[in-house]
Structure 1
Amino acid sequence: MVASEDRFEAVPAAPNGTGVLLLAGSSGRVERERAELLATTGARVRAIRWFGGEGQRPSPHEVPVELFASEIESLLREVDRIVLFGTSFGAEAVLVTASRYAVDGVIAVAPSSVVWAGADAGSWSSHWTHGGEPVPYVAFDPSWSPKTDPPAFVSLYETSLLLDADATAAARIPVGDIAGEVLLIAGGDDQVWPSARFAAEVEAARSERGLVTTVVTHPGAGHRLLLPGESPAVGGVAMRRGGSPEADAELGARAWPEIRRMLQAAR
């Protein structure tokens, strides 16, 4: 279980039986404001820090998927159904977790279709482990260098996918194993990684299995989503994220009805 100081609980006035596990991306923040917003739908929301906290891995490097599974198990003592909600690295986390543990739905903002490498103290490995073993991942192109300051990393992710076709195939998240509905939200101007492309790949893989998948996009939005009533996010690693406050908010306005629907859906 995540320590109390690394979690935030948002309890709705009129619970509807849905529980949400809410994960941020590389910022490592606990998404308090978003948790409160999601709770207005009637969902019981738990936002957690999943690296850098008490007893946790110091960075997104070999983080046990079992960490998220234990939070799902804990939430199920209080709710009837579980939806995982993650952004960026957190979106990668919820897709990986849901492919291994049963949940009722997944909301992935700026998602990835593959598992990526992470570093700690100069050592590179997978973002995730499962059963004590690193989950297969895509390594980064060592020849890449940024062409802007702050850097736009999207070309790094795109070229890294081409380095080793077998490794990329092995790192594909088995999204066809996610039985619950998947909602994918992506900006077409994402300058961190090609999340709109990844969303299309996830949708295609699930369509082959006849699974329910919804994709919400906006061509001018970037890596960060701004939902109605939220304050623009600040801080995090210095990088180009693309989009604009207006376009990111338009994406949020498009996505919000689908988010509400998933969080209010009956079993």
Structure 2
Amino acid sequence: MTAIPRRRTRRAALVGAACALAATGTVLTGCGGEDPDEGTNGVGKLPAAQIQARSRSAAESADTVRLAGNVVAGGRTYKLDMRLKADGASGAVTAAGTTFQLLRVGEELFLKADADFWTGAGGKGDDGDTAAGEKLDGKYVKVPQGDPSYKKFSVFTDMGVLLDGLLTLHGTLETDGRHEQAGLRTVRVTGDAGSGGTLDVSLDGKPYPLRLVRAGGAGTLTFSAWGKDFTLAEPEKDETVDYGKQLPTS
């Protein structure tokens, strides 16, 4: 019988030990298991705090994003579907069962809604009827920068403010496995085991945030179309109404 070289026996024993370790939960290549980080951007190997930091950094470096979902603020739920960039945004906001369109180009903010929206906001004509609401129905109304509504609505169009305020987890950060969002692989980071929110970070391409569940049931949001440019332009004059110095208020 041919003797097996001692070095080969020792090497086989080491490989066997490594594969036994893999069976306990540590996945190693070369033992028949798949490396979950193969072909990824590598952030899945990092501690939770570093994953969140890389994700925030990627978001801050992006020129554009599409944000959709629900946000609970001030006891009211807002449904958002906004495309955002540094110098403007366009999209829809739904609150209290009413949907309105927002468009910001530079510093110019426009709001478009139906007559019921304006009538409900107190839009009465001089004759006491709903003439103002009918005038504004389906038109882009230019929001004066000095009007209280400008600050209220422009926050939904400010990419920097929205991302800074939303991409926050509370409490002790931990990772919570690998998941998938819109066909992309993600690693999930939780705050206080989920009670402080959860954030799914892309493992494909840049480590962009893809899904956020806010703490305290304050809404769930998805992020997509990172870095995909889109055109912003002020509406045509025949689509626009300049209401004046102040909009109707509720």
TM norm. shorter chain > 0.5: no
Which one has the largest radius of gyration? 2
Higher strand share: 2
Structure number with greater CO (CA < 8 Å, separation at least 6) is: 2
Structure 1 length-normalised TM: 0.23
